Amino acid sequence: MQEVLETAQNVARISSQVRIEEEAVNRLCKKIVEERVTVPAWNRRYHFDGRGRDRVFYLLVLDSLNFCFWPAPGKAQWGIDCKSEKLSGYYALATALKQALESGIPFTKADYLAELSLSKLKQILGGRGKLQLLQNRVKILNELGQLLLEEYAGEATRLVESAGMSAVKLVRLLVEKLSSFQDVAQYLDHTVFFYKRAQIFAADLQGAFNGREWGSFNDMDRLTAFADYKLPQVLRHVGILRYGQALAQKIDQKTLLTSGSPDEVEIRANTIWAVELMRQQLEQTGGRLRAFEIDWILWDMGQDLAFKARPYHRTVTIFY
């Protein structure tokens, strides 16, 4: 995704509130190599792992809804109970969709999605607390169902196949066809591309299918990091991202950052460029990893309580 990398680098060069500490980049890369940190395996415990065509559809729905899991101020965080485990965030969504599908709710049918109501989505997700932007999520799934019916005979696999084994083409196809994947911002009169959820769909297919069938792509090395709110939290913790005093105070006080604001764009763009610097450094020191694999390593690190000492930035958005 050259346009994502180039615009991220441009923002990183002129950012006023976020900077990248290259010494910290080198330290973390050295640690990854010395400790032989491996890319986390695809988590089959929380994800649906059934019939291939249903799995593709499941992942497309999952990544269409993969955003904004933190609670609104004064509200309880949304989560679900899975056997003896309490889940929240992304894994709660993955598991809720898995359980709904296995119980017979036909959300892997395009006509069902096209007519999905708010009450039906609440039934699918279940759980406790409140997930933000529920009405937006309904509209996103309605749009997805309508597109699949109109152009792909109702099949998510046909959409994936139309990209011809190119992750980049699949990303651009999603961005072109579905408004909810058009993850783009303006920064000082320049357009900045992120494409977080579109890119993560390609990566999830690769992981879920072990690089085979609908997860077989010939250009996975061209994906970038997926600019969300967890990665910058981790990168800040390890000293790679440094925030100006005003921005640091906003984040630490959990002050909302407006979607598309300079602060928010700087955080996301510097996250992408920091991971690219890590990729370059690892390539030089014998720890060759692709950007999406570094992303998975960092995101997995972020699940540890130690990395949650400082808050992540909060932006109400459908893009991450």
Residue 14 burial (10 A CB sphere; 0-12, 13-18, 19+): exposed
Give the C-alpha separation, 157 to 152, whole Å: 8
Instruction: Supply 84's token pair.
Output: 């003896």
Give the C-alpha separation, 223 to 163, whole Å: 15
Three-point CA angle 7, 191, 230, nearest 5°: 60
To the query of whether residue 228 is one of the catalytic residues in this protein, the response is yes
Based on its alpha-carbon atoms, the radius of gyration of the chain, rounded to whole angstroms, reads: 19
Instruction: Supply 45's token pair.
Output: 């415990």
77 strand-pairing partners: 130
> Which one from 204, 228, 263, 295 is the annotated catalytic residue?
228
CA dihedral 261, 255, 8, 188 (to 10 degrees): 20
Give the C-alpha separation, 112 to 289, whole Å: 39
Give the C-alpha separation, 17 to 249, whole Å: 11
By DSSP bridging, strand 241-243 and strand 18-20 are antiparallel
Q: What are the residue numbers of the active site?
A: 228
